[in-house]
Chains A and B, each alone.
Chain A
């Protein structure tokens, strides 16, 4: 397992424009449209379509995949997303998703909590999580 983590970590910087896998806990039985995904990551939705509470996990700015996700999943640049959140944060209307520093952290968190949703490069997916959507 440790080897796998190290390998995906090494692959990370070059995995820009690779497919992105949206992942949840294996026990999560919900399905998700890309609209739902946008709503979850813009604070407009806080539950999965099946009604269970949903907490999105984001990658930090410093991870190349983040800009890719903002563009492919949300259809906006990272700057636009940050401007959007700064409007909400400083007016008390919302809090952006918590950020972590790597694919591995996303996988570990999601594998241990049925309420979390995250994304990683498709190549990094392990059998401890379930892929809900793949963004090419």
Chain B
């Protein structure tokens, strides 16, 4: 997170044309390992005991130790072109993708004034509280934001957004208005985990907004997004468009609220969200409580997902230990209860343990 002289020197030597850009290089990493201690699996799908720790990336732990599902490294390059203009790219390599590195974020940013910044490009969809910094483990308390809440198959989009930052009395108010679309040709969660066939998932006409109110120890965040979903599933080499009640499109409306408190040594985190997908309701919530003792923060957490058919929850117990100025060690136990019915079970019940180190640089 420090401006790197070496980095700018490197860029100067690599780029033939003279650029006066100030280049910043920063990064983050998580190295985590874990295993399922016991689990039911899902006999109906022939699934062995499994802990689905990361839905969108299909980060899956089984009964043997594995360090791949959630380990990742990200490198951010940011070129400050002066007068409020900057360009940022973030490359992320994940164990869940065999460490194939790709640009997760590529955007241009223009600061209009002290209040507004306009951005355009490829970004993370800022749906839930932790969505847009989901990869940056160092920035949050647990090993991962509660998996039962962060279940959506689309997590990036390409479009434009406007960030704002202002003051209302003693409240700091910040937010983000965004619009765009995502066309994911081989969606990982749907293709690899749910349908077992290459699935093209389209979220179009995305319009959303986030507003956060912040004062001393209190942080309240409201989020809303609407989009139109289209889906094609490959059957014998042919992409077949899916229909819902005879329609090729369905509209999703997502709304959520989050309350966070960081008072003295008490940390309280919560989220409550609902997705309405053409009338079907998908409800998620989570509550976490931690208590900071110097650099050691033990916590408990409960997260829940409830819809017609897909029903699951996770109870977690763990701690974060800030053993270094740029690194934290975490250990977490997760107990998942899968109460899905009508064929909508996810990965069955499981008890798992995970540990890891988060870094920023």
Give residues in A with beta carbon < 8 Å to B.
35, 39, 44-47, 60-61, 77-79, 82-87, 89-93, 95-96, 98-99
Whether B132 contacts A96 by the Cβ 8 Å rule is no
Given A46-B114, A89-B26, check contact A83 B140 (CB 8 Å).
yes
Whether A79 contacts B76 by the Cβ 8 Å rule is no
Complex alpha-carbon distance, A46 and B113, angstroms: 10
**5 extra interface residue pairs, beta carbon distance < 8 Å, beyond A39-B172, A82-B138, A87-B140:** A35-B170, A87-B133, A90-B90, A90-B133, A98-B3
Whether A79 contacts B295 by the Cβ 8 Å rule is yes
**A-binding segment of B235-243, B247-255, B321-329:** B321-329
The chain A residue sitting closest to B131, CB to CB, is A91
Whether A82 contacts B88 by the Cβ 8 Å rule is no
Q: Which residues of B contact A47 (CB under 8 A)?
A: 114
Given A39-B172, A44-B172, A86-B360, check contact A92 B165 (CB 8 Å).
no
Query: Which B residues, 211 to 258, have Cβ-Cβ distances below 8 Å to chain A?
Result: none
Contact with A along B132-160 (1 / 0, CB 8 A): 11011011100000000000000000000
Whether A82 contacts B326 by the Cβ 8 Å rule is yes
Min CB gap A5→B, angstroms? 22
Whether A91 contacts B109 by the Cβ 8 Å rule is no
Complex alpha-carbon distance, A98 and B3, angstroms: 8
Query: Which B residues, 97 to 133, have Cβ-Cβ distances below 8 Å to chain A?
Result: 105, 107, 109, 114, 119, 123-124, 126, 132-133
Min CB gap B171→A, angstroms? 11
Whether A86 contacts B123 by the Cβ 8 Å rule is no
Whether B325 contacts A83 by the Cβ 8 Å rule is no
Whether A99 contacts B133 by the Cβ 8 Å rule is no
Whether B133 contacts A79 by the Cβ 8 Å rule is no
Q: Which residues of B contact A78 (CB under 8 A)?
A: 325
Given A46-B114, A47-B114, A92-B123, check contact A86 B322 (CB 8 Å).
no
Q: Which of B2, B135, B163, B328 contacts A93 (CB 8 A)?
A: B163
Contact with A along B172-188 (1 / 0, CB 8 A): 10100000000000000
Flag whether B61 is at the interface (Cβ < 8 A). no
Complex alpha-carbon distance, A47 and B125, angstroms: 30
Whether B165 contacts A96 by the Cβ 8 Å rule is no
Q: Which residues of A contact B174 (CB under 8 A)?
A: 44, 93
Complex alpha-carbon distance, A77 and B119, angstroms: 31
Give residues in B with beta carbon < 8 Å to A.
1-3, 24, 26, 28, 74, 76, 78, 88, 90, 105, 107, 109, 114, 119, 123-124, 126, 132-133, 135-136, 138-140, 163, 165, 167, 170, 172, 174, 295, 322, 325-326, 328, 360
Q: Which residues of B contact A82 (CB under 8 A)?
A: 1, 138, 325-326, 360
Given A78-B325, A92-B119, check contact A86 B28 (CB 8 Å).
yes
Q: Which of A60, A83, A95, A96 contacts B139 (CB 8 A)?
A: A83
Complex alpha-carbon distance, A78 and B119, angstroms: 30
Whether A92 contacts B109 by the Cβ 8 Å rule is yes
The chain A residue sitting closest to B140, CB to CB, is A83
Whether A90 contacts B76 by the Cβ 8 Å rule is yes
Complex alpha-carbon distance, A79 and B141, angstroms: 12
Name 14 interchain pairs, CB-CB below 8 A, sorted by A: A39-B167, A44-B167, A77-B322, A79-B325, A82-B325, A84-B139, A86-B136, A87-B140, A89-B26, A90-B74, A90-B90, A90-B133, A90-B136, A91-B132
The interface centre, meaning the residue of A60, A87, A90 with most chain B CB atoms within 10 A of its CB, is A90
Q: Which residues of B contact A46 (CB under 8 A)?
A: 114
Whether B2 contacts A90 by the Cβ 8 Å rule is no
Q: Which residues of A contact B123 (CB under 8 A)?
A: 92
Complex alpha-carbon distance, A44 and B213, angstroms: 12
Complex alpha-carbon distance, A79 and B329, angstroms: 12
The chain A residue sitting closest to B170, CB to CB, is A35
Q: Which residues of B contact A86 (CB under 8 A)?
A: 1, 28, 133, 136, 138-139, 360
Whether A79 contacts B328 by the Cβ 8 Å rule is yes
Given A87-B136, A90-B136, check contact A96 B172 (CB 8 Å).
no
The chain B residue sitting closest to A43, CB to CB, is B165
Q: Which residues of B contact A44 (CB under 8 A)?
A: 165, 167, 172, 174
Q: Which residues of B contact A95 (CB under 8 A)?
A: 24, 78
Min CB gap A107→B, angstroms? 20
Whether B325 contacts A61 by the Cβ 8 Å rule is yes
Given A82-B1, A96-B1, A99-B2, check contact A87 B139 (CB 8 Å).
yes
The chain B residue sitting closest to A85, CB to CB, is B1
Whether A90 contacts B139 by the Cβ 8 Å rule is yes
The chain A residue sitting closest to B123, CB to CB, is A92
